[in-house]
Chain A
Amino acid sequence: KAGVTQTPRYLIKTRGQQVTLSCSPISGHRSVSWYQQTPGQGLQFLFEYFSETQRNKGNFPGRFSGRQFSNSRSEMNVSTLELGDSALYLCASSSNLQLAGRADTQYFGPGTRLTVL
């Protein structure tokens, strides 16, 4: 089974621009979560989508948004980029077995390295 894929792998933008990152989950997985990793803050949860609906949200400003498509693929968007948005953006997918009362496991993609100049 193919793993989680993220595109692009590297991205350079300037302040004020916007960016869209893409994530394709493992086949059959319906839940997609996004995380931001920076040297200062570590790994932080952004939001989670399930069945095209945002189900959970972390403590990030409204400039960070996302969506999920009917095929479970997900995108996240960051508008009006700031220098502090430079980070590794990680996507993780899970099968959502929690609905069956079983342990769920999130599998991460390789990440998109965003640099804001």
Chain B
Amino acid sequence: DAKTTQPPSMDCAEGRAANLPCNHSTISGNEYVYWYRQIHSQGPQYIIHGLKNNETNEMASLIITEDRKSSTLILPHATLRDTAVYYCIVWETSGSRLTFGEGTQLTVNP
């Protein structure tokens, strides 16, 4: 699976959009981009995934660049409960293991 690079930490004001970047320059054609988040000491929570096109669900939007070498997770109106570590994972899904990196610690401030 391709490796990902994320900033170690980010801050966001409550009510503002949080834009979390992820670089995955070695991604291959059959690998998906997945985002999970983990609130302290809880199990990781699935957020969204995509292959080529931008995706949106009730939690977030995922913007993938045309060359697929980077992506951005957007939380449109961040709340204090969105404070968590966010993991960007590139995954072929034919394999069964997710490879987690260090992730980005997002802190939403009041």
Contacts and interface: CB of A to CB of B under 8 A. Distances in A.
Interface of A: 4, 31, 33, 35, 42-45, 48, 50, 55-56, 58, 88, 90, 92, 94, 98, 103-111, 113
B65 interface: no
A104 B99 CA distance: 15
A103 to B, nearest CB: 5
Given A98-B93, A103-B49, A105-B49, A90 B98 contact: no
A111 B95 CA distance: 22
Contacts of A56: 95-97
Contact of A113 (B32, B41, B46, B93): B41
B102 A108 contact: no
A103 B42 contact: no
Contacts of A55: 96
B21 to A, nearest CB: 20
Contacts of B93: 98, 103-104
Interface string B26-64: 000000101010000111111001010000000000000
A111 B96 contact: no
A6 B102 CA distance: 24
Contacts of B41: 88, 111, 113
Contacts of B98: 33, 35, 43, 45, 92, 106
Contacts, number: 56
B5 to A, nearest CB: 15
Is chain B's binding surface mostly helix, strand, loop or mixed?
Answer: loop
B12 to A, nearest CB: 23
Interface residues of B, number: 21
Given A90-B43, A103-B49, A108-B44, A98 B32 contact: no
Contacts of B44: 43, 90, 92, 108
A108 B45 contact: yes
Nearest to A3: B43
A113 B46 CA distance: 20
A31 B96 contact: yes
